[in-house]
A and B are shown apart, each in its own frame.
Chain A
Amino acid sequence: MAGKPLLRVVNVKKSFGDKVVLDGVSLTLNKGETKVIIGPSGTGKSTLLKSINRLVVPDEGEIWLEETEIIRCKNINAVRQKIGYVFQDFGLFHHLTALENVMIGLTKVKKMPKKEAVEKARYELNRVGLSGIEDLYPAQLSGGQKQRVAIARALAMEPKLMLFDEPTSALDPELIGEVLAVMKELAESKMTMLVVTHEMGFARSVSDEIIFIEKGKIVEQTSPEKMFRDPEHQRTREFLFKLKDLYGEGGE
């Protein structure tokens, strides 16, 4: 397990106009680890995740995925293939069936032969518990199914790292569980994951570390046990308290 981290974010800064959104963020992720990011809205969590696959270009700092520095690398499309990204609003392609949504990255980006891509896509859909809906279009799926298709689409690319940006925030409460279950299984299979979520049950049971970000800065980053029992900072305590109010205790 020792050795170089898979992901290394070093002192990343980003401003929009004169608004500082990321104010020197550093974190590392070892292979197989899952870390959860929490923090108030508008605090730079999405901007941080987007920086990691350069959907947003940071002003300063370095981001390393193994041996590749992402901010300055030449072929960003090659890097993005190695980073799976799951969004709050799914981002499924409306004109393609579930199967085609999973296939398109394989055939058009990885240039995989169609037959092989079909097989791979079926396998990935099965893995997220979606056998039988291959030929349905996004508009015919529930929110939970949509998000699982999006996860399958990302997994099909065989990424080294998965980024999740509030993957369950757009879902009806009764559909959240099925998505979290898939993510939990993924974490247990030693996928490396960075997850922005306020599902504290998930954070508590799955993550190796919880990172609390506020106003573009990491306030505290520690194990879930310590985070929930005895956080260092008053601000962390207050935020967790507020979360409990909003989402409940969030046990298993």
Chain B
Amino acid sequence: MLDFFELVKKSLPTLLEGTFVTIKLTILIVAMGLILGLILAFCQIYGSKPLRIAVAIYDRIFRSIPELVLLLLIFYGMPGIGLRLSPFYAAVVALGLRAAAYMGQIFRGSFMSVGSDQLTAAYSLGMSEYKAFIYVIFPQAMRAFIPPFANEYAIILKDTSLAYAIGVVELLRQGQYIITVEYEPLPIFLAIAGIYFVLTFGVARLLKKLENKLKIPGIGV
């Protein structure tokens, strides 16, 4: 038992190094998902018909291909067309493109959750589409956005471990290195699992707090 904790303690700095990479991956993928997803959602809601169809095709593609296949495709396949990415950025791009498809749907759902009666009322007051979006749709959509976003965040964080497959030295791979040296899989894998748990659960709690703070009185009590 003592060995168990000793080993974890000894490995912790290396694991934290990996954790840092995992966090960096997560942040970049979430950011890419948010920005690209927002653009996709706008195109789908306000865009012309061809644009909406393009978004639908994008959506279908990135929801249908397994992430591991996406990762391998971007990392090993892209150099074939002259686009060579480091394992780290290949992972960001592959997982970010996928995240954008999901975030786009989440954004769209949150924008649509604001009733058209409120939009009509906003226009009747003389608000432009822009003002109606900023003052009426956005503040409410943001609230609807948080719960599904929390869910998607957890998926993104956990799926960064797939980057292991193309050689990104993130948390899981750092653990593997330790295991090949120490030959003690159980404590190391448990420690890795624990770190993922803290990252997932901790942020979920924070987002839940934010959600409660923003809750509109009288709704959902």
List the A residue with the shortest CB-CB distance to B134. Answer: A108
* B217 contacts A139, C-beta separation under 8 Å: yes
Q: Once bound together, how far apart are the Cα atoms of A106 and B128, in whole Å?
A: 14
A168 within 8 A of B: no
Instruction: Please report which residues of chain B, range 82-132, place their CB below 8 angstroms from some CB of chain A when the two chains form the complex.
Output: 115, 117-118, 120-128, 131
A129 within 8 A of B: no
Nearest chain A CB to B104 CB, angstrom units: 23
* B218 contacts A138, C-beta separation under 8 Å: yes
B179 within 8 A of A: no
Interface size of A as a range: 20 to 34
* B219 contacts A55, C-beta separation under 8 Å: no
* B124 contacts A109, C-beta separation under 8 Å: no
Interface size of B as a range: 20 to 34
* B218 contacts A92, C-beta separation under 8 Å: no
* B118 contacts A92, C-beta separation under 8 Å: yes
Residue in B124, B135, B143, B217 whose CB lies within 8 Å of A137 = B217
Q: Which of A81-89, A182-190, A216-224, A231-239 contacts B (4 or more CB under 8 A)?
A: A81-89
Which A residues touch B117, using CB under 8 A?
A: 87, 89-91
A205 within 8 A of B: no
A228 within 8 A of B: no
Q: Once bound together, how far apart are the Cα atoms of A87 and B218, in whole Å?
A: 22
Nearest chain B CB to A147 CB, angstrom units: 12
Nearest chain A CB to B67 CB, angstrom units: 36
* A80 contacts B118, C-beta separation under 8 Å: no
* B216 contacts A139, C-beta separation under 8 Å: yes
* A95 contacts B140, C-beta separation under 8 Å: yes
Instruction: Please report which residues of chain B, range 132-185, place their CB below 8 angstroms from some CB of chain A when the two chains form the complex.
Output: 135-136, 139-140, 143
A51 within 8 A of B: no
Which A residues touch B218, using CB under 8 A?
A: 136-140
List the B residue with the shortest CB-CB distance to A78. Answer: B126
* A93 contacts B219, C-beta separation under 8 Å: no
Q: Once bound together, how far apart are the Cα atoms of A167 and B128, in whole Å?
A: 24
A105 within 8 A of B: yes
Interface string of B196-221 (1 = CB under 8 A from A): 00000000000000000000111100
The residue in A55, A92, A108, A153 that gathers the most chain B C-beta atoms within 10 A of its C-beta is A108
* B128 contacts A77, C-beta separation under 8 Å: yes
* A108 contacts B140, C-beta separation under 8 Å: no
Residue in A90, A95, A136, A153 whose CB lies within 8 Å of B125 = A153
Nearest chain B CB to A148 CB, angstrom units: 15
The residue in B123, B124, B131 that gathers the most chain A C-beta atoms within 10 A of its C-beta is B124
* B127 contacts A94, C-beta separation under 8 Å: no
Q: Once bound together, how far apart are the Cα atoms of A154 and B123, in whole Å?
A: 12
Which A residues touch B121, using CB under 8 A?
A: 85, 87, 90-93, 150, 153
Which A residues touch B217, using CB under 8 A?
A: 136-137, 139-140
Interface string of A50-64 (1 = CB under 8 A from B): 000101000000000
- State whether A80 and B125 are in contact (beta carbons under 8 Å apart), knowing that A89-B117, A92-B118, A93-B136 are contacts in the complex: yes
Interface string of A131-146 (1 = CB under 8 A from B): 0000011111000000
Q: Once bound together, how far apart are the Cα atoms of A140 and B217, in whole Å?
A: 7
A104 within 8 A of B: yes
* A91 contacts B127, C-beta separation under 8 Å: no
A-B contact pairs, 22 of them (CB 8 A): A55-B123, A77-B126, A77-B128, A81-B126, A85-B124, A87-B121, A91-B115, A91-B124, A93-B118, A93-B121, A93-B140, A94-B118, A95-B139, A95-B140, A95-B216, A108-B127, A136-B217, A137-B216, A140-B217, A140-B218, A157-B125, A157-B126
For the A-B complex with A91-B117, A136-B218 known, give 5 more contacts whose Cβ atoms are closer than 8 Å.
A53-B124, A91-B115, A93-B122, A95-B140, A105-B125
Q: Which residues of A come within 8 Å of B, CB atoms?
A: 53, 55, 77-81, 83-85, 87, 89-95, 104-105, 108-109, 136-140, 150, 153-154, 157
Which 10 residue pairs spanning A and B have beta carbons closest together? A91-B121, A139-B218, A81-B126, A140-B218, A85-B124, A105-B125, A80-B126, A91-B117, A77-B126, A109-B126
